Chains A and B, each alone.
Chain A
């Protein structure tokens, strides 16, 4: 398909979104990420039954925590799509890229730069 999506996005592959832990998300922000999103299979289609539901809950936990510490929970998002749906993958990537650009850089990244 040779679809393009924003180069700002770094993909971290996991065997299932059920592998994604809240710590992975928090550490990404600590290391300067401006946003994090997880792309899982369609709900009900998880090969391991509940991996994508677990991921959704963890993204929600991360969202709450990031709101509490002043980073902004809207910087995390869970998306669901079929693994055969490349165009939608690119669409979600563009959507997230635009959202983060609208929000601006992560306050953590800015604070780290200032402190350095």
Chain B
């Protein structure tokens, strides 16, 4: 999922204090799972903002809506009949949702309520860690299911480097060396022969190096 983290309330207050009618728009998908932008976080933020503004003598109306998703037309369309009531929207979706919202409602100021961080997993409640950088050319088949692009600080393809010590990375002693994990898993799978195969230079054009990307699937287009 896309992992996001809450923005400080002070930052959000600064962004919206000039408005009178504000909508806080949550998303039921990834940001709900990582407890940053779901219905509950919308409620908490709305309550906090209402209290802040009333406490500061400002008549501010703050409404709450949480959509199924903010990255699909059909769900964003659900608020078309209500959007004109608001001067601005705080979207608690990831950066994708915020941008799609901005594209769809051109004249409506949209502010992000979360910091979008990475593609990752819930390691445990309250701890999310990165697993994928969406490089566009998955090599997990050859790295025992562990991604050196997202989990190695150097994104190194033929590792480990000299900074690997006792299974940890030199940039942080709490960070596992991705290549140590790969080697350990290759051993467990009895596939250490694969470790001898060298990766050639990766084509980074499918990563961000090639500019904004798109996937075109004519087979599913209507």
Q: In the bound complex, do residue B48 and residue A108 qualify as a contact, i.e. CB atoms below 8 Å apart?
A: no
Instruction: Known contacts A26-B51, A30-B51; decide if A70 and B44 are in contact (CB<8 Å).
Output: no
Q: Does A89 contact B (CB under 8 A)?
A: no
Q: Mark A24-49, 1 if CB is under 8 A from B, else 0.
A: 00110110000000000000000000
Query: Which range contains the number of A residues in contact with the other chain?
Result: 10 to 19
Q: Does B10 contact A (CB under 8 A)?
A: yes
Q: Secondary structure of the A side of the interface?
A: helix
Give the distance to chain A from B57, nearest Cβ to Cβ, in Å: 7
Q: Does A69 contact B (CB under 8 A)?
A: yes
Q: In the bound complex, do residue B40 and residue A23 qualify as a contact, i.e. CB atoms below 8 Å apart?
A: yes
Report A-chain residues with C-beta under 8 Å of the C-beta of B52.
68-70
Q: In the bound complex, do residue B48 and residue A23 qualify as a contact, i.e. CB atoms below 8 Å apart?
A: no
- The chain A residue with its CB closest to the CB of B57 is A111
- The chain B residue with its CB closest to the CB of A61 is B44
Q: In the bound complex, do residue B44 and residue A107 qualify as a contact, i.e. CB atoms below 8 Å apart?
A: no
Report A-chain residues with C-beta under 8 Å of the C-beta of B54.
108, 111-112, 115
* Contact partner, A68, options B10, B40, B56, B57, Cβ 8 Å: B10
Query: Which range contains the number of B residues in contact with the other chain?
Result: 10 to 19
Instruction: Known contacts A23-B40, A65-B9, A69-B9; decide if A108 and B55 are in contact (CB<8 Å).
Output: yes
Q: In the bound complex, do residue A27 and residue B10 qualify as a contact, i.e. CB atoms below 8 Å apart?
A: no
CB contacts under 8 Å to B, within A59-92, are 65-66, 68-71
Instruction: Known contacts A70-B55, A112-B54; decide if A65 and B40 are in contact (CB<8 Å).
Output: no
Q: Does B168 contact A (CB under 8 A)?
A: no
Instruction: Known contacts A30-B50, A30-B51, A115-B59; decide if A68 and B44 are in contact (CB<8 Å).
Output: no
CB contacts under 8 Å to A, within B131-161, are none
Q: Does B43 contact A (CB under 8 A)?
A: yes
Report B-chain residues with C-beta under 8 Å of the C-beta of A68.
9-10, 48, 52
CB contacts under 8 Å to B, within A92-116, are 107-108, 111-112, 114-115
By a beta-carbon cutoff of 8 Å, the part of chain B in contact with chain A is 9-10, 40, 43-44, 47-52, 54-57, 59
